[in-house]
């Protein structure tokens, strides 16, 4: 039996590239600019895409990546885990010691790096399209820090 892609799914997939193009064309966020509430966002540095995420509250998510705790700053935790001495101790699922001064220093350094990055966002209120757009952008841009692992 030959199967083809569901027409409903194909319609959604065909709309992804247009939103991707709008994300890339968006001006990098500057203080005072309006961010969309729901959608997909991108962190980049020197025109290199680093991390794509999605949120139903992009302004809050942007703040948390740059200033939040370890549980709120997933991208910062990816940067912390780059260091060999933190890779195992602070691996996903490991019990981090949030009071560890060395860890907190690395988290703050990672968040400083993030604050210096460009940030763009595109509106997408539909949860399914958000999910697919996040994956589409991460794959198309070959982002360094999107792993899509599970626990």
76-124 tens-digit pLDDT: 988 988 877 766 555 555 555 556 788 889 899 999 999 999 999 999 9
Considering the entire predicted model, what is its pTM? Answer: 0.89
Model pLDDT, residue 113: 97
Model pLDDT, residue 1: 66
Mean pLDDT confidence for 127-135: 97
Model pLDDT, residue 89: 59
**Partners of 119 in beta bridges:** 43
């Amino acid at each position: 039996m030959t199967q083809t892609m569901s027409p409903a799914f194909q319609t959604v997939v065909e709309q992804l590239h247009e939103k991707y193009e709008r994300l890339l064309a968006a001006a990098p966020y500057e203080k005072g600019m309006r961010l969309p509430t729901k959608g997909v966002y991108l962190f980049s540095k020197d025109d290199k895409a680093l991390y794509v995420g999605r949120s139903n509250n992009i302004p809050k998510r942007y703040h948390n990546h740059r200033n939040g705790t370890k549980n709120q700053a997933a991208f910062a935790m990816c940067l912390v885990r780059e260091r060999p001495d933190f890779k195992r101790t602070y691996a996903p699922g490991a019990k981090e010691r949030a009071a560890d001064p060395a860890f907190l220093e690395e988290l703050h350094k990672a968040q400083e790096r993030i604050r210096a990055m460009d940030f763009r966002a595109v509106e997408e209120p539909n949860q399914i399209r958000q999910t697919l757009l996040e994956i589409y952008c991460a794959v198309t841009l070959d982002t360094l820090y999107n792993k899509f692992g599970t626990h």
